[in-house]
Amino acid sequence: MRITNSLMSQSFLNNLNKNSKSVFKYQEQLSSMKQVSRPSDDPLKVSKILDLKNELKQNTQYKTTINDAIDFTNVQDAALASATNSLQRISSLTQQAANGTYNSQDRQAIKTEIENEVESMLDALNTNFGGRYIFGGQKSTEKPFTINKDAGQFTIEYSGTDSEINGNTTKEIARGVSVDLQTDGKRLFEPKGVEGNISTVLNDLFSALNEDDTQALGGQSLKKIEKLIDNTVNLRTNIGAIHNRLSAARDRNESEYLNLETSLSNTQDIDLAETYMQYSMQMVSYQASMNMGTRILQTNILDYVR
């Protein structure tokens, strides 16, 4: 087969174009530090990169949710600690009032102090965190506990989620994984094992103080106050367990984020040394093609002159 000048020129142009594309490819990779710059470079790799970026974005959203929930449980724990302290003080004062050596005036002074402790307790339970009342249930924008003093009655009302509705707030902390934050204040208002609610317990206590009923003070009133304390401590324990679960979820979230970042880097980032070596090799090929082309052109011109 006779190799014509036309075939040689065409072969030269094909090789030059191929080497030029390779040089441009590696120049672009070195400039962007990425393996691909457009979907047409490698559609499968681009699809994987987009999937990894979406997973990182979702992971970051879960991280925000987890950290917010951890902060929320910390605030709840502090509020319950304060409420427990108030209840323990009320218990101590009730024991004092049951002492037969105290007179009516002493018990009225104790009653006043107990009222102050009740208000402190409810201030703690009405804590607002980030625009949400921590024990308002699903009605997180409404103040859950209120006190009404009328005609000697000391009434506490709870306006949070109704008892028929789950008052806890559910948070998704990972794909397919959720946690219930203990936001239902109904449990604090109507503890299990206590006849009535916190309002009736306190009103019975105040009635016993007004009537100097030392037997009731040292008996039923004290027992009911202790049950209120146990209920608050149990809820605090539950919230502590949720806090621990959230802390473990945060650790897993951070580990997953690092794994996703590594996978994304391996998929989209270049190996600088390897890419520079390939670029240098392609530049040598490109320059060799250019030199060969110059010789071909010179030969063609000489043949034409002859």
How is residue 162 annotated by DSSP?
-
Provide the H-helix boundaries in 142-221. 186-189, 198-210, 214-216
DSSP 34: B
Q: Is 153 a domain residue?
A: yes
Assess if residue 2 is contained within a domain: no
In whole angstroms, give the CA distance from residue 182 to residue 236: 9
**C-alpha 290, offset from chain centre:** 60
Q: What is the pLDDT of residues 71-103, one digit of tens each?
A: 999 999 999 999 999 999 999 999 999 998 999
Q: Domain for residue 183, yes or no?
A: yes
At 140, which CATH number? 1.20.1330.10
Report the C-alpha gap between 290 and 282 in whole angstroms: 12
What is the identity of the amino acid at 238?
A: N
Using CA atoms of 273, 275, 279, 281 in order, give the dihedral in degrees to the nearest 10.
70
Asked whether residue 241 is domain-assigned, the answer is no
Q: Is residue 103 part of a domain?
A: yes
Instruction: Look up the pTM and report it.
Output: 0.77
H or E element, residue 167: none
Count of the separate structural domains present in the chain: 1
In a domain? residue 238:
no
CB 134 within 8 A of CB 144: no
> Which domain range does residue 91 map to?
53-225
Distance CA 235, CA 233 (A): 5
Q: Is residue 2 scored above 50 in pLDDT?
A: no
pLDDT digits (tens, 9 = 90+) for 10-65: 665 666 566 556 656 655 655 666 767 666 666 787 788 889 989 999 999 999 99
Per-residue confidence (pLDDT) for residue 45, from 0 to 100: 79
Does residue 176 fall inside a structural domain? Answer: yes
**67 within some domain:** yes
